[in-house]
A and B are shown apart, each in its own frame.
Chain A
Amino acid sequence: MTPELNLSRDPAHLRHGSNIGQPLSRVDGLAKVTGTARYAADNNPPGLLYAVTAVSSIARGRVVALDVDAAKAHPGVVEVMTPANRPALAGDPDGKPNPFAFRFEALQNDRVRYANQPIALVIAESLEAATEGAALLAPRYEAEPARIGLDAGDAYVPPVVGMGFPAESHHGDVEAALAGSDRQITATYETPAHYHNAMEPHAIVAEWQGDKLVIDTPTQGLVMMRGRLAELFGIAPESILIRSPYLGGGFGGKGFIAGPQILGILAAKLVGRPVKLVVRREQLYGPFGHRSPTRQTLRLGADGAGRLSGIHHHARIATSSFEDFYEAAAHVTHTLYAAEAIATTYDAVRMDTGTPLFVRAPGIAPGSIALESAVDEMAEACGLDPLAFRVKNYAEVEPSTGKPFSSKALRECYTQGAERFGWWERPLKARTMRDKDGFLVGWGMGTATFHALMFAGQARAVIRRDGSGVVESGAHDMGQGAWTAFAQIAADSLALELDQVTFKAGTSDLPDAGIAGGSAHTATVGTAIHNAGAAVIAKLAELATSDQRSPLFGAGNAGVIARNGRLLRRDDEGRGESYADILARAGLDQIEGSGSGVPDPAANEQYAMHSHGAVFAEVKVDPDLGQVRVTRMVGAFAAGRIINPKLVNSQLIGGMIWGISLALHEEAVTDRRTGRIMNANLGEYHVPVNADVPAIEAFTVAEHDPFVNPLGIKGVGEIGITGSAGAVANAVAHATGIRVRRFPVRISDLVRSGH
């Protein structure tokens, strides 16, 4: 039945005391501050054994020997799993049943294709025994030369990049535009490999209950993971239960199942007991994806007035030897600044690393730091203030497609952000600001942008006889606040208060919530919940309005509004009745509705959909020693409707700090001879610490978007990084007069070289 009450068009009439938009504290906060929130590795079922993987120290070749006897002789070791004895899989780890099934290593053979690849697994009665058992395997290899670095082999043009973009895209004639421009710059920027480094290492507790499989493992895509496991193990999806109520951070690293998790399940099968496998920190640098290193060359042309005529953004990227994933680093250039002609091109090399995959703000994070640096360099070449230059090149429509934006409050972000920061006091010339102690001070900015995506998700809503609600969706909370934001949407969708609604998420037996990624989870699942709530309210209205005994009889669905657990007549709000009364009279225990959240193809055809923002950064640099500190940062963001400003603020600030990290700190250092990552630890793979993050604030500007989805949600998970990394890099250049084009900026780049 199509509800006449068209809730999907205007949700506002449903709201009473409006949960959406309230800065509520995290509903899972209590569990998290008391240590009772149960993450995957916190499960200790009876009979548990511990598994630890041994990983390869070469990047390419074969394992020719493992000292299984030594491992087995270690007290407490129960079994050693190698390619020789690991239970069979129904599916092929090297198969490609769908584009999101990434190839992995689960001891299918003796091949090594990157350093840190699992090559065996030891199962023991204690973690200590399993750990030592793995060390005692002392593998011997036949090594082949490792191919490492962006010049590792012959570059080729990848078939597609990112989520199916063409590797070569032209809008207008960029060569002609550049040739005809008054000013041109060409600059090459490099970004290193980044690893997700969520605080929670990947972990799995796997238990076979006959043919049924129960696992605890953190995942950003419950139902997708279940489908992949069903295919790999040759069992029905319904025979698999995955529990993932809390993820200790995801950032893209927990989107897809990886070899070590499969090995944990296989180990449980091999020994017929539950097995816990927690991946050691250093072993995370391999099988779980990373952000490809990039080398990006930007060529920009501008006219005498500082208007961009052409941008060519070329990215050299890397993938693994056995899988195709191409970081769409250049694509941000199609959507951000108005230029007559825009071209993006890519080439790629294959390296002996794990497959690069999605990392927070895939493509755009490395692309944005290069683009924002280049735009700053051009602004400087034109003698213009960086913000004035950006405003001059403001894209009123999406540059490459000519589509109007579904909404774009970037101008307001520029204005309000600049005002809050005090940007207009900035001297144009670099290396002219000092603080009272003589440290160099620099101000930089960057434009933030991220596409407003939706995937496909489902939700179920129930109103129970007592008038309370239950809303279910297999959604994922990796820290972004899903437990809270979805509860708020759920309450509003049922016109109930938050404490009258039970929201269930985090297990694979709930409706498919799609994947938590692409900053699309709130939009996708939020829409599904919203629609499920609307469906159940419509059913309830149908019951009431068609029942002569109801005060709502004859009102018609469109004549009814839901408010505070009651349905009311639109034309006379004094007449109405509670959900409980309606259900009681109908003799129903509960009434149920379902809804889905999917993108609207027509709207997507017509409009370009993106979030935007403006980030302003101040850095101090020691002029002699080259040490940098970000001292102040302001981010203004336009991201459609904000479900929970408190949590969104945390998300945005967190993203901005990732921006600091990209600009100044994080980098995987790989030995080119061996392919081993030499800083595969949190001591030397630097992510920012508290002392790296002084005053920083984020705020959102009002933005109403009637086209992205019924609730107007655009997503905030990733946009905070974009713009921020460039803002910090530009601030360093402004402070020092030194333009560093290889990130992160290091002390060696800025230390005074003279005497």
Chain B
Amino acid sequence: MNWTVRLAVNGEPRTLALDDPRVTLLDLLRERLHLTGTKKGCDRGQCGACTVLVDGRRINSCLTLAVSLDGAAITTIEGLAQGDRLHPVQEAFIAHDALQCGFCTPGQIMSAVGLINEGQAGDDPERVREGMSGNLCRCSAYVGIVEAVRDAQATLTDKERAA
């Protein structure tokens, strides 16, 4: 039996015939759509490496069944930049060296975008730390991550003001 799942993945509409309801959103992205930027660190909602946006909200894609997401819009790390123009969060991560091995980085960045969308942290570093605590970084680039998130948020706010 196949399940039809309609998704918009990074803005592109896709209709998928899923042969197995066990497939998580994470495994769908990585193993079936070959969008491997999203990472699997624990597969149990305990590390945040698999963070993507579903309808604009950050979630752990490892704990989400793809079949349940029919009709959803998914944004992954591959869908963040506009052509060659990086998203401000991506730029800020490079500028503040908010990464080392890079494995948690796509999840950190998607989580940061989600955090900024949520609008709850403001520029308070403590709120940013708390809001980014669902993304483990064993290299421990946390200091740079907080700086990058605040910097990117300021950039985005400036852009909104200008717009």
Q: Residues on A close to B: CB < 8 A? A: 25-26, 28-39, 41-42, 44, 50, 126-129, 132, 196-201, 246-251, 278, 280-281, 477-481, 646-647, 649-651, 653-658, 681-683, 687-691, 693-694, 696-697
Contacts and interface: CB of A to CB of B under 8 A. Distances in A.
Given A199-B49, A479-B100, 19 more contacts: A26-B97, A29-B97, A33-B109, A34-B86, A34-B90, A35-B106, A196-B138, A249-B138, A250-B101, A251-B138, A481-B100, A650-B144, A682-B42, A682-B136, A687-B138, A688-B142, A689-B136, A694-B126, A694-B129
A357 to B, nearest CB: 17
A35 B97 contact: no
Contact of A691 (B43, B104, B130, B137): B130
A172 B45 CA distance: 54
Interface size class of B (residues with CB under 8 A): 35 or more
B161 interface: no
Given A248-B39, A479-B139, A29 B93 contact: yes
Contacts of B77: 33-35
A200 B104 CA distance: 8
B140 A654 contact: yes
A247 B39 CA distance: 13
Contacts of A38: 36
A96 to B, nearest CB: 31
Nearest to B91: A33
A653 B140 contact: yes
A690 B40 contact: no
A144 B145 CA distance: 48
Q: Say what secondary structure dominates the interface of chain A.
A: loop
Contacts of B23: 126, 128
B25 interface: no
A684 to B, nearest CB: 8
A201 B97 contact: no
Q: Say what secondary structure dominates the interface of chain B.
A: loop
Contacts of A697: 143
B101 A681 contact: no
Given A42-B36, A127-B27, A657-B140, A32 B99 contact: yes
Given A199-B49, A201-B40, A682-B42, A690 B135 contact: yes
Contacts, number: 184
B57 to A, nearest CB: 19
Nearest to B94: A29
A251 B136 CA distance: 15
A691 B134 CA distance: 10
Contacts of A278: 40
A739 B163 CA distance: 57
B140 A688 contact: yes
A551 to B, nearest CB: 42
A198 B103 contact: yes
Contacts of A33: 77, 86, 90-91, 93-94, 99, 105-106, 109
Contacts of A479: 99-102, 139
Q: Which 5 pairs between the two chains have the least Cβ-Cβ distance?
A: A35-B37, A248-B103, A479-B101, A32-B102, A479-B100
Given A281-B44, A651-B100, A693 B38 contact: no
Nearest to A682: B46
Interface centre among B27, B38, B137, B145 (most CB of A within 10 A): B137
Given A127-B31, A653-B140, A654-B100, A691 B133 contact: yes
B54 to A, nearest CB: 17
Contacts of A690: 128-130, 132-133, 135, 137, 142, 145-146
B56 interface: no
Contacts of B133: 689-691
A683 B137 contact: no
Contacts of B49: 199
A76 to B, nearest CB: 8
Nearest to B146: A690
Given A35-B76, A682-B47, A126 B102 contact: no
B106 A199 contact: no
Contact of A246 (B90, B102, B134, B138): B102
27 contacts: A32-B105, A33-B99, A33-B109, A35-B76, A36-B78, A39-B36, A199-B137, A200-B103, A246-B102, A246-B103, A249-B103, A249-B138, A249-B139, A250-B101, A278-B40, A280-B43, A650-B97, A653-B140, A658-B140, A681-B44, A683-B46, A689-B134, A690-B132, A690-B137, A690-B142, A691-B129, A693-B129
